[in-house]
Amino acid sequence: MMEWLQQLVNGVSLGSIYALIALGYTMVYGIIKLINFAHGDVFMLGAFIGFYAAIRWDIGFIPALILAMVICSIIGVIIERVAYKRLRGATRIAALITAIGVSLFIEYTVIFFRGAKPEAYPELLKESYIDLFGASISSKSVLIIAVTIVLMLLLQFIVHKTKIGKAMRAVSHDADAARLMGINVDNTISATFAIGSALAGAAGVIFGVYYTRIDPLMGVLPGLKAFIAAVLGGIGSIPGAAVGGYVLGVVETIVSAVGFSLWRDAAAFVILILILILRPAGIFGKNAREKV
Protein backbone atom coordinates (compact mmCIF):
# COMPACT_ATOMS: atom_id res chain seq x y z
CA MET A 1 0.00 0.00 0.00
CA MET A 2 2.78 2.42 0.94
CA GLU A 3 4.67 1.62 -2.25
CA TRP A 4 1.58 2.18 -4.40
CA LEU A 5 0.94 5.55 -2.77
CA GLN A 6 4.50 6.56 -3.59
CA GLN A 7 4.07 5.37 -7.18
CA LEU A 8 0.81 7.31 -7.44
CA VAL A 9 2.57 10.53 -6.40
CA ASN A 10 5.33 9.81 -8.94
CA GLY A 11 2.69 9.25 -11.62
CA VAL A 12 0.91 12.50 -10.80
CA SER A 13 4.25 14.37 -10.91
CA LEU A 14 4.98 12.94 -14.36
CA GLY A 15 1.41 13.62 -15.41
CA SER A 16 1.82 17.26 -14.38
CA ILE A 17 4.54 17.66 -17.01
CA TYR A 18 2.42 16.00 -19.70
CA ALA A 19 -0.60 18.06 -18.71
CA LEU A 20 1.21 21.40 -19.00
CA ILE A 21 2.50 20.53 -22.47
CA ALA A 22 -0.87 19.08 -23.55
CA LEU A 23 -2.64 22.32 -22.61
CA GLY A 24 -0.63 24.15 -25.27
CA TYR A 25 -1.56 21.57 -27.90
CA THR A 26 -5.25 21.69 -27.08
CA MET A 27 -5.45 25.50 -26.87
CA VAL A 28 -3.86 26.01 -30.28
CA TYR A 29 -5.99 23.27 -31.83
CA GLY A 30 -9.12 24.74 -30.28
CA ILE A 31 -8.42 28.13 -31.87
CA ILE A 32 -7.02 27.38 -35.34
CA LYS A 33 -7.32 23.56 -35.66
CA LEU A 34 -3.53 23.17 -35.91
CA ILE A 35 -1.46 20.43 -34.27
CA ASN A 36 1.65 22.40 -33.36
CA PHE A 37 4.32 19.68 -33.35
CA ALA A 38 6.95 22.32 -32.58
CA HIS A 39 5.38 22.64 -29.12
CA GLY A 40 7.56 19.86 -27.68
CA ASP A 41 10.63 21.81 -28.72
CA VAL A 42 9.38 24.94 -26.97
CA PHE A 43 9.25 22.69 -23.89
CA MET A 44 12.92 21.81 -24.56
CA LEU A 45 13.84 25.50 -24.92
CA GLY A 46 12.16 26.23 -21.58
CA ALA A 47 14.33 23.60 -19.92
CA PHE A 48 17.51 25.12 -21.37
CA ILE A 49 16.46 28.68 -20.53
CA GLY A 50 15.99 27.66 -16.90
CA PHE A 51 19.28 25.76 -16.98
CA TYR A 52 21.41 28.64 -18.28
CA ALA A 53 19.65 31.18 -16.05
CA ALA A 54 20.37 29.01 -13.00
CA ILE A 55 24.05 28.40 -13.72
CA ARG A 56 24.79 31.95 -14.91
CA TRP A 57 22.84 34.02 -12.39
CA ASP A 58 22.46 31.45 -9.59
CA ILE A 59 18.70 31.97 -9.31
CA GLY A 60 16.19 29.68 -7.65
CA PHE A 61 13.38 27.52 -8.98
CA ILE A 62 10.58 30.13 -9.11
CA PRO A 63 12.65 32.88 -10.86
CA ALA A 64 13.94 30.30 -13.38
CA LEU A 65 10.37 29.12 -13.95
CA ILE A 66 9.04 32.64 -14.53
CA LEU A 67 11.94 33.58 -16.83
CA ALA A 68 11.44 30.42 -18.92
CA MET A 69 7.70 31.13 -19.19
CA VAL A 70 8.25 34.72 -20.33
CA ILE A 71 10.89 33.89 -22.95
CA CYS A 72 9.00 30.84 -24.22
CA SER A 73 5.84 32.91 -24.62
CA ILE A 74 7.78 35.34 -26.82
CA ILE A 75 9.22 32.42 -28.81
CA GLY A 76 5.72 31.01 -29.25
CA VAL A 77 4.45 34.30 -30.69
CA ILE A 78 7.44 34.50 -33.07
CA ILE A 79 6.79 30.94 -34.29
CA GLU A 80 3.13 31.74 -34.90
CA ARG A 81 3.81 35.02 -36.72
CA VAL A 82 6.68 33.71 -38.86
CA ALA A 83 5.64 30.13 -39.63
CA TYR A 84 1.88 29.72 -39.18
CA LYS A 85 0.17 33.05 -39.80
CA ARG A 86 0.53 32.86 -43.59
CA LEU A 87 -0.86 29.32 -43.64
CA ARG A 88 -4.25 30.06 -42.06
CA GLY A 89 -6.05 29.54 -45.34
CA ALA A 90 -3.84 26.65 -46.46
CA THR A 91 -4.63 22.96 -46.26
CA ARG A 92 -4.12 21.22 -42.92
CA ILE A 93 -1.41 19.00 -44.36
CA ALA A 94 0.60 22.10 -45.33
CA ALA A 95 0.33 23.45 -41.79
CA LEU A 96 1.25 20.05 -40.35
CA ILE A 97 4.35 19.73 -42.53
CA THR A 98 5.35 23.27 -41.57
CA ALA A 99 4.97 22.41 -37.87
CA ILE A 100 7.27 19.40 -38.29
CA GLY A 101 9.76 21.60 -40.15
CA VAL A 102 9.71 24.21 -37.37
CA SER A 103 10.29 21.42 -34.83
CA LEU A 104 13.36 20.14 -36.68
CA PHE A 105 14.65 23.69 -37.20
CA ILE A 106 14.50 24.42 -33.45
CA GLU A 107 16.14 21.12 -32.48
CA TYR A 108 19.07 21.37 -34.86
CA THR A 109 19.58 25.10 -34.32
CA VAL A 110 20.11 24.33 -30.62
CA ILE A 111 22.46 21.45 -31.54
CA PHE A 112 24.39 23.74 -33.90
CA PHE A 113 25.03 26.36 -31.24
CA ARG A 114 25.66 24.18 -28.18
CA GLY A 115 26.15 20.61 -29.38
CA ALA A 116 24.08 17.52 -28.72
CA LYS A 117 25.54 16.44 -25.38
CA PRO A 118 23.14 16.25 -22.42
CA GLU A 119 23.45 18.54 -19.42
CA ALA A 120 22.96 17.84 -15.72
CA TYR A 121 20.36 20.24 -14.34
CA PRO A 122 21.45 22.35 -11.35
CA GLU A 123 19.79 21.61 -8.01
CA LEU A 124 17.16 24.35 -7.90
CA LEU A 125 15.19 22.57 -5.18
CA LYS A 126 16.66 20.92 -2.12
CA GLU A 127 15.12 17.50 -1.81
CA SER A 128 13.66 16.25 1.42
CA TYR A 129 11.12 13.55 2.18
CA ILE A 130 7.69 13.73 3.75
CA ASP A 131 6.20 10.78 5.58
CA LEU A 132 2.63 10.27 4.36
CA PHE A 133 0.74 7.22 5.68
CA GLY A 134 4.04 5.41 5.98
CA ALA A 135 5.19 6.28 2.44
CA SER A 136 8.25 8.46 1.85
CA ILE A 137 7.15 11.21 -0.55
CA SER A 138 9.67 13.56 -2.15
CA SER A 139 9.08 17.23 -1.36
CA LYS A 140 10.19 17.91 -4.92
CA SER A 141 7.23 15.90 -6.26
CA VAL A 142 4.80 17.71 -3.96
CA LEU A 143 6.07 21.14 -5.02
CA ILE A 144 5.91 20.21 -8.72
CA ILE A 145 2.29 19.09 -8.34
CA ALA A 146 1.43 22.27 -6.41
CA VAL A 147 3.04 24.56 -9.03
CA THR A 148 1.23 22.74 -11.82
CA ILE A 149 -2.14 23.09 -10.10
CA VAL A 150 -1.52 26.83 -9.55
CA LEU A 151 -0.67 27.30 -13.25
CA MET A 152 -3.79 25.38 -14.32
CA LEU A 153 -6.00 27.46 -12.04
CA LEU A 154 -4.38 30.61 -13.45
CA LEU A 155 -5.11 29.37 -16.97
CA GLN A 156 -8.75 28.73 -16.05
CA PHE A 157 -8.98 32.26 -14.65
CA ILE A 158 -7.49 33.75 -17.83
CA VAL A 159 -9.80 31.77 -20.13
CA HIS A 160 -13.03 32.38 -18.21
CA LYS A 161 -12.58 35.71 -16.42
CA THR A 162 -10.44 37.96 -18.63
CA LYS A 163 -11.08 39.86 -21.84
CA ILE A 164 -8.46 37.92 -23.81
CA GLY A 165 -9.93 34.66 -22.53
CA LYS A 166 -13.39 35.63 -23.76
CA ALA A 167 -11.86 36.57 -27.10
CA MET A 168 -10.12 33.19 -27.29
CA ARG A 169 -13.40 31.37 -26.66
CA ALA A 170 -15.18 33.50 -29.24
CA VAL A 171 -12.51 32.87 -31.91
CA SER A 172 -12.57 29.16 -31.08
CA HIS A 173 -16.33 29.07 -31.64
CA ASP A 174 -16.43 31.15 -34.84
CA ALA A 175 -13.47 33.25 -35.98
CA ASP A 176 -15.41 35.10 -38.70
CA ALA A 177 -18.21 36.09 -36.33
CA ALA A 178 -15.64 37.16 -33.73
CA ARG A 179 -13.95 39.37 -36.32
CA LEU A 180 -17.29 40.99 -37.16
CA MET A 181 -17.80 41.72 -33.45
CA GLY A 182 -14.55 43.71 -33.38
CA ILE A 183 -12.24 41.07 -31.92
CA ASN A 184 -8.68 41.19 -33.24
CA VAL A 185 -8.34 37.55 -34.31
CA ASP A 186 -4.62 37.78 -35.12
CA ASN A 187 -3.75 39.12 -31.66
CA THR A 188 -6.00 36.53 -30.03
CA ILE A 189 -4.24 33.68 -31.85
CA SER A 190 -0.85 35.12 -30.87
CA ALA A 191 -1.99 35.34 -27.24
CA THR A 192 -3.04 31.68 -27.39
CA PHE A 193 0.41 30.67 -28.64
CA ALA A 194 2.01 32.85 -25.94
CA ILE A 195 0.03 31.24 -23.11
CA GLY A 196 0.50 27.70 -24.42
CA SER A 197 4.24 28.24 -24.92
CA ALA A 198 4.59 29.72 -21.43
CA LEU A 199 3.07 26.56 -19.97
CA ALA A 200 5.43 24.42 -22.07
CA GLY A 201 8.39 26.48 -20.80
CA ALA A 202 7.26 25.89 -17.23
CA ALA A 203 7.00 22.16 -17.96
CA GLY A 204 10.58 22.23 -19.29
CA VAL A 205 11.96 23.67 -16.05
CA ILE A 206 9.90 21.22 -13.99
CA PHE A 207 11.19 18.33 -16.12
CA GLY A 208 14.79 19.45 -15.62
CA VAL A 209 14.35 19.73 -11.86
CA TYR A 210 12.57 16.36 -11.64
CA TYR A 211 14.75 14.27 -13.97
CA THR A 212 18.02 16.30 -13.67
CA ARG A 213 19.04 15.61 -17.30
CA ILE A 214 18.22 17.60 -20.44
CA ASP A 215 19.33 17.50 -24.08
CA PRO A 216 18.31 19.18 -27.38
CA LEU A 217 16.12 16.24 -28.46
CA MET A 218 14.36 15.86 -25.12
CA GLY A 219 11.15 17.43 -26.44
CA VAL A 220 10.37 14.73 -29.01
CA LEU A 221 8.97 11.94 -26.84
CA PRO A 222 7.31 14.07 -24.12
CA GLY A 223 5.81 16.18 -26.92
CA LEU A 224 4.30 13.11 -28.57
CA LYS A 225 3.02 11.81 -25.25
CA ALA A 226 1.49 15.18 -24.40
CA PHE A 227 -0.27 15.11 -27.78
CA ILE A 228 -1.61 11.66 -26.85
CA ALA A 229 -2.77 13.13 -23.52
CA ALA A 230 -4.59 15.91 -25.37
CA VAL A 231 -6.28 13.36 -27.67
CA LEU A 232 -7.14 11.17 -24.67
CA GLY A 233 -8.82 14.04 -22.85
CA GLY A 234 -10.47 15.40 -25.99
CA ILE A 235 -8.43 17.64 -28.26
CA GLY A 236 -9.65 21.21 -27.86
CA SER A 237 -10.79 20.67 -24.24
CA ILE A 238 -8.65 22.36 -21.57
CA PRO A 239 -9.91 20.19 -18.66
CA GLY A 240 -9.54 17.16 -20.94
CA ALA A 241 -5.87 17.93 -21.61
CA ALA A 242 -5.16 18.17 -17.89
CA VAL A 243 -6.98 14.93 -17.08
CA GLY A 244 -5.37 13.15 -20.05
CA GLY A 245 -1.91 14.20 -18.87
CA TYR A 246 -2.48 12.88 -15.37
CA VAL A 247 -4.02 9.62 -16.60
CA LEU A 248 -1.08 9.03 -18.93
CA GLY A 249 1.48 9.80 -16.22
CA VAL A 250 -0.15 7.44 -13.72
CA VAL A 251 -0.51 4.64 -16.30
CA GLU A 252 3.16 4.89 -17.30
CA THR A 253 4.28 4.81 -13.68
CA ILE A 254 2.10 1.79 -12.89
CA VAL A 255 3.43 -0.06 -15.94
CA SER A 256 6.97 0.53 -14.69
CA ALA A 257 6.07 -0.38 -11.10
CA VAL A 258 4.70 -3.81 -12.05
CA GLY A 259 7.94 -4.70 -13.81
CA PHE A 260 7.29 -3.74 -17.43
CA SER A 261 9.50 -0.65 -17.61
CA LEU A 262 10.55 -1.49 -21.18
CA TRP A 263 6.88 -1.14 -22.18
CA ARG A 264 6.46 2.21 -20.46
CA ASP A 265 6.66 4.31 -23.64
CA ALA A 266 4.63 1.78 -25.62
CA ALA A 267 1.78 2.11 -23.08
CA ALA A 268 1.12 5.68 -24.23
CA PHE A 269 0.72 4.62 -27.85
CA VAL A 270 -1.48 1.66 -26.88
CA ILE A 271 -3.73 4.15 -25.09
CA LEU A 272 -3.79 6.31 -28.25
CA ILE A 273 -4.84 3.35 -30.41
CA LEU A 274 -7.56 2.31 -27.94
CA ILE A 275 -8.97 5.81 -27.58
CA LEU A 276 -9.09 6.29 -31.36
CA ILE A 277 -10.95 2.99 -31.72
CA LEU A 278 -13.32 3.24 -28.75
CA ARG A 279 -13.85 6.99 -28.31
CA PRO A 280 -12.22 9.09 -31.04
CA ALA A 281 -13.49 12.35 -29.52
CA GLY A 282 -11.67 11.64 -26.23
CA ILE A 283 -12.96 11.64 -22.66
CA PHE A 284 -14.30 15.19 -22.66
CA GLY A 285 -14.62 15.66 -26.42
CA LYS A 286 -17.86 15.84 -28.35
CA ASN A 287 -18.53 14.40 -31.75
CA ALA A 288 -19.08 17.22 -34.24
CA ARG A 289 -19.83 17.24 -37.92
CA GLU A 290 -17.23 18.91 -40.07
CA LYS A 291 -17.60 20.29 -43.56
CA VAL A 292 -15.07 18.96 -46.05
What is the C-alpha separation between 1 and 5, in angstroms, rounded? 6
Q: What distance in Å separates the CA atoms of residue 47 and residue 34, rounded to the nearest whole number?
A: 24
| Residue 90 per-residue DSSP state | S
Give 234's Cβ-side CA count (13 Å radius).
14
In DSSP terms, which residues pair with 132 in a beta bridge?
135
pLDDT higher for 134 or 180? 180
User: Helix 61-79 vs helix 185-211: angle between axes, to the nearest 10 degrees?
Assistant: 140
Residue 224, classified by CB atoms within 10 Å of its CB into exposed (0-12), middle (13-18) or buried (19+), is middle
| Res 292: pLDDT | 47
Give yes or no for residue 2 having a pLDDT over 80. Answer: no
Higher pLDDT, 75 or 125: 75
Q: Are 70 and 222 in contact (CB under 8 A)?
A: no
Average pLDDT, the chain: 86
**Which of 110 and 262 is assigned the larger pLDDT?**
110
pLDDT digits over 220-261, tens only?
898 889 999 888 888 878 888 889 899 999 998 888 888 777
DSSP secondary structure letter of residue 81: I
The neighbouring-strand residues paired with 135 are: 132
Contacts of 40 (CB under 8 A, 6+ apart): 21, 103, 200, 219, 220, 222, 223, 224, 226
Q: What is the mean pLDDT of residues 45-62?
A: 90
Domain boundaries, the chain: 17-218
**Is 135 a residue whose pLDDT tops 70?**
no
pTM of the model: 0.90
pLDDT(290) > 60: no
pLDDT score for 132: 67
